[in-house]
Structure 1
């Protein structure tokens, strides 16, 4: 069952903080949506964490917005940045995006950013969050969280 950012943060505050920090390192990230024929589409996107939610704002009638209106499933990957450092690791979020039409919610979002006069706003409902990083220059560590479950940690040499 998908959940919002606040519920994830309450369940796993350390991982949620790390994921937010990774997304805050860069402005642009990669969003994967599903085209009408079911094939994947990747697009650049800016995301916001505000008021206990993960928000996805998009230009009016953008193909990624049209994809999400038709099929709400998405995957979001934080920008890895330049080089190979990836401070904080590689983080990905999957879930469903619900479009917000509520005037007060959109107004609150607009106070945080300066979107165009018309735009699509989606609230992310999380189905999983994954962080991959290297520990002690020896282990590849994968942390996977899903709603209602503790973080699963996989270590590989």
Structure 2
């Protein structure tokens, strides 16, 4: 079974809304893929949410597209922006990229998004979604994994061990 954005949204609608809102703050985000030799590659990327999917689109022949075709594992991190306090936190999505190769589906996506150039298109099969934020004096890490309950870990100052909320 694919763990697409719709599965995540159905399982945790409030958390999904917060994560998606954080992505909506900036058009460009950071994608990490694996190079042929196994070392990480970090590049910029625009993402979109349509039809219950998190979409990753990239230029034809781009190194990040080639990385994903060879090894679909990825991590996607929201743009940290310019506010050093990051009031809306920080989000990371991990998973496997599933390439869309069906010409009618690619054409439909291009029409819906206004994409006029050739592109590689992937949707995300999610393995983990993490939001890290600061609430008062606590660092709060909220994690969703398919088939597991939402987990929230809170950590105060250095004298206190982390604890689940």
Pairwise TM-score range, normalised by the shorter structure? over 0.9
1:143 matched to 2:150: no
Scaled by the length of structure 1, the TM-score of the pair is: 0.95
Structure 2, gaps ≥5 residues long: 157-165
If asked which structure has higher relative contact order (CA below 8 Å, sep 6+), I would say 1
* 1:2 and 1:95 in contact (8 A); partners too: no
Instruction: Tell me, in whole angstroms, the C-alpha distance in 2 between the residues paired with 1:112 and 1:25.
Output: 21
Structure 1, gaps ≥5 residues long: none
Secondary structure at 1:88's aligned position in 2?
A: coil
Offset of residue 93 of structure 1? 0.1
* 2:141 and 2:153 in contact (8 A); partners too: yes
Structure-to-structure mapping, 1:2-151, within 5 angstroms = 3-136=3-136, 138-151=137-150
Number of aligned residues = 156
Cα RMSD after superposing both structures: 1.3
User: Residues 70-117 of structure 1, C-alpha deviation per residue, up to 9 Å, x if partnerless?
Assistant: 000000000011021323210000000010012332233213433342
Larger of the two Rg values belongs to structure: 2
* 1:56 and 1:121 in contact (8 A); partners too: yes
